[in-house]
Structure 1
Amino acid sequence: MRDRARLYLDLVRWDRPAGWLLLLWPSLSALWIAADGFPGWDLVAVFTLGTILMRSAGCCVNDVADREFDRHVKRTAQRPVTSGRVSVREALVLGAVLALLAFLLVLTTNAATIAWSFAALAIAIAYPYAKRFVSMPQAVLGVAFSFGIPMAFAAVRGEVPLLAWGLLLGNLFWVLAYDTEYAMVDRDDDLRIGIKTSAITLGKADVPVVMACYAVAIGAWAVVMTGRIPAWVVGLAVAGAAAQALWHFTLIRGRTREGCFRAFRLNHWVGFALFAGTAVGYAIA
């Protein structure tokens, strides 16, 4: 049982929290913006636990969908499902249980959030298959990884205003930036096995586009927050996020596996900088 538990924890990437942190910070920022300040510990707990559970469920679905591809990629060949140590049935059952637990959390909110959760689930399930048909599957992931934003507004206000969709669009560019870095790690393997990714589609334009996406994402947050929180807080948060983006440029410009993977793994600090600016700004506004 202990060995099975270790395999299941490996399947859901329990030792790699960067994945759920990338989902968490935009969702928490949206909660603060929707509530014009601290949204209450109940919603913070629901969205934090729900994010962890849904990211874990997503890993199960993704590994089942990609098992035939992953065995040909150096970085993923030893994943539990790909290597056969966890069966497809086990992975799907575990994913379903985790998604159900997340849904039980959603049931503590309101009807609007519950309704939007079905759309979020559909997009999360569709993403693993997008790379077979879409030249920029990272855009599909961008929608999936940003869907906590409209759900946060629904949970606080009972509706999803235009502001929420603007925030989602800005966050989508951040996802494009960091997931293109991720795709750059496996570009050689993906070319060989025929997977579509933004790193392949963009070719030599990958690094400039990544940096442009960072600029759009950070700029969109700044536009939204100007007038809502003190200008100097906006400036500090933008400076912190932009400094990290520039550092990531130094990591990815050589297009090495190690540099690109390191940049991807550290991206959650960009999101944290913007969330910290949001929370601090509303606290002192």
Structure 2
Amino acid sequence: MSWFRVARASRRLQRPSLFSSSLSLSRSILNPLPSSHPTPNPNPDYHNPFKQHYRCTPISDLSRDNLKLDWWGYKSVAHISTSVRETSNSEEDKDGGSRLPKAEVSWIDLYLPKQARPYARLARLDKPIGTWLLAWPCMWSITLAASPGHLPDFKMLLLFGCGALLLRGAGCTVNDLLDRDIDTMVERTKLRPVASGLLSPFQGICFLGFQLLLGLGILLQLNNYSRILGASSLLLVFSYPLMKRLTFWPQAYLGLTFNWGALLGWAAVKGSLDPAIVFPLYISGVFWTLVYDTIYAHQDKEDDLKVGVKSTALRFGDSTKQWITGFGIACISSLALSGFNAGIGSPYYAFLAAASGQLAWQIWTADLSSRADCNRKFVSNKWFGALIFSGILLGKLSS
């Protein structure tokens, strides 16, 4: 009898306990790497409870698709969801000097259904800076067209804001469809939905049609002159992605495309164009685009050389700051001429001086060898646009 009890106890000890199974599950969740274990920190600071001692890969969601049965029949993490993005802003590994991809989770991963996330990324909804850069020239023009002493038409501002969101998304979709082979070879763009295979080209085309249909609904709210003028911009939108294959000046072509709202906003309010006011405004936007998009293009100059596409960053090389300084001066001069011809008040010129300082700060402090700094300077242009808008608004109210 005593031998039977000993044998029974030994079998109980060999059976996996609930604690050991839970520990196995927690380990599989905290360390889901399938092929290699994390490397411990050689000099861990165990006195600091908040310091991370292992390089663990973050998990974006623990959905049923990401779970599988382990050897004991418990569920463990099988793979990392593709909703976590690896960005090109990789960080230097302090231990061995290797570069590790940085995982980044946006509001798209947190709030949108899984099926909608690739489309939201295709439209760059997680990167609103492009929408701001497209919307600001529209807002400038609409505000310039307002009657002296009056606020701009709020309905027009709202319509053009929505239109900027849709048109920018459509432009990104066209760009990704035409550049899907190039994007796979560029570090910053290889995880875009079409290039990575999350969406097929056919799905991208269907999404493009949906965006253009919504944009048409906005365009039909405008007068006939504006409808024709707005529809003509589609030629620029669809041809822009091809320019990097043909010329070292795709940034100039982007300026012609992105600042079309400087013409369209005035036409939507007035029903015609005043060349003395809107043409200098449009030209100023083109020069502004040459500044910020040349800085932006320096992020990809090494990859562009390998792939064989062109940009002003490659065209200017070490002379980039001299070139964009000239573009910045031309931008501010054109804005001053447009405001002078419009007869707006002195607050406009005060804000124009502040915007000049912001643009000069970008140019003089930009580290063109740092991708992160180029991106920071590029994103800061939303404040340049806001300063010009504020100056036009206060200038019109005081005139």
TM-score (norm 1): 0.95
Post-superposition CA distance 1:222-275 (Å, at most 9, x none):
2221362222x1332122212211221244245321211111111111111101
CA distance in 2, matches of 1:44, 1:181: 29
Contact 2:280 2:337 in 1 (8 A): no
Question: 1:132 aligns to what?
Answer: 245
Question: 1:207 aligns to what?
Answer: 321
Match runs of 1:22-171 below 5 Å = 22-36=133-147, 37-162=150-275, 163-171=277-285
Question: 2:343 aligns to what?
Answer: 228
CA distance in 2, matches of 1:10, 1:85: 10
Gaps of 5+ in 1: none
CA distance in 1, matches of 2:154, 2:368: 43
CA distance in 1, matches of 2:121, 2:328: 30
1:168 corresponds to which letter in structure 2?
A: Y
CA distance in 1, matches of 2:325, 2:369: 14
CA distance in 1, matches of 2:330, 2:390: 19
How many Å apart are 1:127 and its aligned residue? Answer: 0.3
Q: Report which structure shows greater RCO (CA 8 Å, sep ≥6).
A: 1
2:352 corresponds to which letter in structure 1?
A: V
CA distance in 1, matches of 2:177, 2:255: 20
Match runs of 1:261-280 below 5 Å = 261-280=375-394
2:311 corresponds to which letter in structure 1?
A: T
The runs of 4+ residues in structure 1 deviating greater than 6 Å are none
How many Å apart are 1:186 and its aligned residue? Answer: 0.5
The number of equivalent residue pairs is: 284
More helix by percentage = 1
Contact 2:146 2:396 in 1 (8 A): no
How many Å apart are 1:92 and its aligned residue? Answer: 1.6
Contact 1:26 1:146 in 2 (8 A): yes
CA distance in 1, matches of 2:291, 2:393: 24
More strand by percentage = 2
CA distance in 1, matches of 2:370, 2:296: 11
1:238 corresponds to which letter in structure 2?
A: L
User: Percent of pairs identical after alignment?
Assistant: 32
What secondary structure is seen at the aligned counterpart in 2 of 1:132? Answer: helix
Question: 2:128 aligns to what?
Answer: 17
Contact 2:321 2:364 in 1 (8 A): no
Which structure has the larger Rg?
Answer: 2
Post-superposition CA distance 1:157-193 (Å, at most 9, x none):
1112213222111110001111101111100110111
Deviation larger for 185-194 or 32-41: 32-41
CA distance in 1, matches of 2:232, 2:338: 25
